[in-house]
Amino acid sequence: MISFDFQQKVALVTGGTKGIGRAIVMALLQGRARVVVTYSSDDVAADAFLQSLTAENKQRVNLLKSDVASRQDVRSLFEKEPITLVVNNAGILKQGDFQDLTDEQWDRTLAVNLKGPFMVGQEFLKHGPKGGAMVNISSIGGQTGGSKAPDYAASKAALISLTRSLARLGSARNIRVNAVAPGWIKTDIFSDEQLVNLQQEAAKVIPMGRLGMPEEIAGSVLFLLSGQASYITGHCLNVNGGLHFG
Ligand SMILES: NC(=O)c1ccc[n+]([C@@H]2O[C@H](COP(=O)([O-])OP(=O)(O)OC[C@H]3O[C@@H](n4cnc5c(N)ncnc54)[C@H](OP(=O)(O)O)[C@@H]3O)[C@@H](O)[C@H]2O)c1
């Protein structure tokens, strides 16, 4: 992976204890950033994440239990540290039959996947420094729709729109805001059974013939956060092995 220099930067990665978020955190640490890492419920995974860090990296990580859907939790993140880079990564996905989709699930999915990035974006545009950058993790589901999780697809489509609004709003202070839309990435967001099915499906329908790995998302996020992307804002970058070109 290309290495980026984020020394002197403080990055916030929501949902950074697992999967894609964790790969982004590790890449930021490799670039010598300080990283505020959040999670909401899985203390075991959070502890395992912390234990996996070297002593040096541990000193550069501030791990916080913080629900991105809570205004108070989000506000306090920005009161603790001078955050200069943001990755809105935390997200939830529950697949099922459309007729079984409850109001409660709809509201929770939208609260975590969309309202969370809105509140983080609002705080960042208030407190963040000139020259800051934000990346929102959307999804191919937001571009194509999805019959197994329409709540998720709607939240991720709206996140692309929010990204463009925040890019317009942030430009006055030279704060860039972009999105990354991953395709099918091998993480714990899917059950083991779902991953087996996805892997078989990937061989048939993804031009590159395989699932993506979290580290392959991290590289694109770091590029968009870095000075190498200094004239890119409001963009949604597909990282999906060719599954969707839109
Ligand atoms: N994997 C894919 O194929 C794929 C494709 C497209 C887009 N994405 C997106 O990529 C992002 C990361 O997905 P992933 O596959 O890495 O998922 P994952 O392995 O399930 O990890 C999700 C992370 O988010 C945290 N989280 C969940 N709800 C939260 C909340 N309310 N507040 C704060 N943190 C919360 C989780 O911690 P706790 O469990 O402790 O809460 C965990 O650290 C999501 O936005 C997802 O929609 C994934």
Residue among 33, 32, 30 nearest 12 (CA): 33
> Each residue of 140-152: b (16+ CB within 10 Å) or e?
bbbbeebeebebb
Closest ligand 1 atom to residue 217 Cα is 10
Distances in Å between the Cα of 110 and the Cα atoms of 14, 87, 116, 159, 190 are 16, 18, 8, 10, 19
In terms of pLDDT, which residue wins out, 174 or 1?
A: 174
Task: Calculate how far, in angstroms, residue 97's C-alpha sits from the geometric centre of ligand 1.
Answer: 21
Task: Calculate how far, in angstroms, residue 150's C-alpha sits from the geometric centre of ligand 1.
Answer: 17
**Mean pLDDT on 135-164:** 98
Give the pLDDT of residue 216: 98
pLDDT at residue 3 tops 90: no
Angle (CA) 227-230-231 rounded to 5° is: 165
Structure tokens at 130: 């000139």
Per-residue confidence band for 209, with pLDDT thresholds at 50, 70 and 90: very high
Instruction: State percent of the chain over pLDDT 90.
Output: 97
pLDDT in tens, 4-14: 999 999 999 99
Give the pLDDT of residue 161: 99
Structure tokens at 162: 């929010």
Q: Answer for the pair 176, 167: CB distance below 8 angstroms, yes or no.
A: yes
pLDDT in tens, 27-56: 999 999 999 999 999 999 999 999 999 999
pLDDT at residue 2 tops 70: no
Residue having the nearest C-alpha atom to atom 17 of ligand 1: 189
Mean pLDDT of the chain: 97
State the CATH architecture for 10-239: 3-Layer(aba) Sandwich (3.40)
Structure tokens at 73: 């939790």
pLDDT in tens, 72-125: 999 999 998 999 999 999 999 999 999 999 999 999 999 999 999 999 999 999
Measured from CB, residues less than 6 Å from any atom of ligand 1 are 14-15, 17-21, 38-42, 45, 67-69, 89-93, 112, 137, 139, 182, 184-185, 187-189
pLDDT at residue 20 tops 60: yes
Closest ligand 1 atom to residue 65 Cα is 33
Per-residue confidence band for 211, with pLDDT thresholds at 50, 70 and 90: very high
Q: Active-site residue 231, yes or no?
A: no
Out of 4, 152, 184, 190, the active site residue is 152
**Mean pLDDT on 153-165:** 98
Distances in Å between the Cα of 134 and the Cα atoms of 37, 54, 96, 123 are 15, 26, 31, 12
| Integer Cα distance of 43 and 37 in angstroms | 13
